[in-house]
Chain A
Amino acid sequence: MSEAARPVVTARHDDAGIAARIEGSAIGDTIYRWMTTGFALCIPVLLLFIALEVGAAAWPAIKAFGFGFLTSSDWDPPHAVFGAAPAIYGTIVSSIIALIIATPLALGVAIFLSEFAPAWLRQPMAFFVDLLAAIPSVVYGLWGIFVLQPLLREHVMPFLSGLPLIGQSGLFEGPAYGPSMLGAGLILAIMVLPYISAVSREVLMAVPRSQREAALALGATKWEMIADAVVPYARSGIIGGIILGLGRALGETMAVTMLIGNVHKISASLFAPGYTMASLIANEFAEATGDLHLSALMAVGGVLFIVTLIVNALARWLVWRVSREARA
């Protein structure tokens, strides 16, 4: 800018200067373009690298066990036999428990905050719920071990197994030790709740005003407006949020490792300890005995990678569909 104010010395000199500056800016633009493109391409390259490195490291185990790796329950490092079925089962069950508990709560929060809450309550309460996402996983684990687990063992588990019909269903059987699928699922529910509620709130708020006004003008109560006009409009976005929460739950490591008990066994009872893919890696990787053990753990990581990739892509697509409709 200071150059513009500088007095013109001679016409020819200035022409040359301008020409040089234009030349320079063209080079600068080119460098800038290449640099930002390079940074942007770091992301696909990084993902590709992760896939290749993990895939290559997992290859010996894939070759040795094939598809049976996913269905076999034998995990026997001394004899170099590995099957990830208990970990896969545990990952799915703990995530389902988490979603069953977290989804209604998160939807309730999202609807309350986006539709019913008075303006002064909206921001602070949303901040509070969002803060749940800021608590580190290891702190959840610590709280889970010393507060949630005793609470489950002494109060919740006896209560559940004493319930008339549900208690006999086989889900709540056996001794209540503490480390259990139930505990892991519960802590996961608290951890994914902020993700589901944040996405749901966002898509609910993206529903056009006209949609609400039309419902109200037809004489609907506020709730009827929400149930008949707002939620159906945002449905696929809300489902996207739930699936995003699922993605978080599937890959969550520390808190689950600290609570699930880490046992290679498929048990029907939620009181029994289990394993998840992430906690299996966290627990055994550092003490892996031999190359095939390491490779098997890498294969578990690879499965986790692929599953979360599919789940996240699905979630993003669903959320994107709502926001595109809202814009159109």
Chain B
Amino acid sequence: MTLPTPPRAPVPPPRPAARSIRSSGVQRAAAERTRTTIARRRVVNVVMVGITFVAAIVATLPLLFILGHLLKAGASSINLDFFTEIPKPPGESGGGMANAMAGTLVLIVTASLFGLPVGIGAGLYLAENRGTLIANGVRFLSDVLNGLPSIVMGIFAWQFLVRPMGKFTALAGGIALGAMMIPLVTRTTEEMIRIVPVSLREAALALGYSRWRTSLVVVLRTALPGIVTGALVAVSRIAGETAPLLFTVLGNQFWSLSLREPIAALPLQIFIFAISPYDQQHSLAWAGALVLIGIVLVISLAARFATRSRFGRGGD
């Protein structure tokens, strides 16, 4: 990528060189050199535009391939049964993933009940105590938590919740997912509260509002669309997580919505079907993947529009 820096200093400025074409040979040679240098530099420029453009195209290709194949393979095996029935025993045709979809919903709600209050509260703290030692430390650790591999969260939840209770439960999975939401929600909440104008806060305080009411009623409400976006992004991320569920919710071939029992989940069920040897289950896995992607994309798009309506442009 590094380009040999063109020799700028020794090259005479073009204008005098151009005028002197008629005069001396030395100057003519210099002008010639300048022209070829400029031509070469222009070519390099165009080539690099081309290379980066090709890179951009190549980078978007996998997405198109994956979505394309997903639509092709998933749509052919999706039908009404898929949404209303539970999985059939291996080898039998038919069956669906209704219990897995319901399970994913239960897990998302559980995770949100735990992850959202903590995340939003921590975000409020970070936004209102900027620059303090604790705030900087918490912000850093929240980034560290964000980078924690989901499988580590899974074994932690197993050790912390499943082992003492002696059984796999939906609750353990929900808490593992909720913990994964916290850093994302914290950071977006902090950013969204930071862009609320200080004048708004000052106006509320000047009207005699107490600090906590100012924060919760005025500032938080103003920042709400952005925070909703952050929450939706966090939900879309955990909706497809599989690794933290492997040893916490375990999966379930039957209907169960109880938090104290093993529960089925869409991504987990896709994994189980994908590595099974039966074609019938493979096609169910594709259908499940299509539905899962659909859910994730709808939530992501909703998140984008929630921000756009408020601040005029998409907040990334």
Contacts and interface: CB of A to CB of B under 8 A. Distances in A.
Interface string B273-287: 011000000100110
Contact of A29 (B120, B134, B207, B211): B211
Interface string A40-72: 111110110110011001000000000000000
> Which residue of B69, B73, B240, B314 has the most chain A CB atoms within 10 A of its CB atom?
B240
Contacts of B314: 123
A298 interface: yes
B155 A54 contact: yes
B293 A136 contact: yes
Interface string A276-316: 00100110011000000000011001001100110111011
Contact of A135 (B210, B250, B296): B296
Contacts of A113: 56
Contacts of A46: 145, 179, 182
A117 B242 CA distance: 36
Interface stretch (B24-32, B78-86, B124-132, B222-230): B124-132
A217 B159 CA distance: 62
Binding site secondary structure of chain A: helix
Contacts of B300: 131, 134
Interface string B227-257: 0000000001101111100110010000000
Contacts of A159: none
Indicate the member of A223, A226, A286 with the most B CB atoms within 10 Å: A223
Q: Main SS of chain B's interface residues? A: helix
Given A1-B207, A106-B59, A128-B60, A139 B52 contact: no
22 contacts: A25-B210, A29-B211, A39-B119, A43-B138, A108-B54, A112-B52, A126-B316, A132-B63, A134-B237, A142-B289, A193-B59, A221-B41, A221-B44, A222-B45, A223-B45, A248-B147, A252-B149, A254-B243, A281-B155, A282-B151, A282-B243, A312-B143
Interface of B: 1-3, 5-6, 8, 41-42, 44-45, 48-49, 51-56, 58-60, 62-63, 65-66, 69-70, 73, 117-122, 124-126, 128, 134-135, 137-138, 140-156, 158-160, 179, 182-183, 186, 207-208, 210-213, 215-216, 236-237, 239-243, 246-247, 250, 267, 270-271, 274-275, 282, 285-286, 289, 292-293, 296-297, 300, 304, 314, 316
5 tightest A-B CB contacts, nearest first: A108-B55, A136-B240, A251-B149, A39-B121, A25-B210
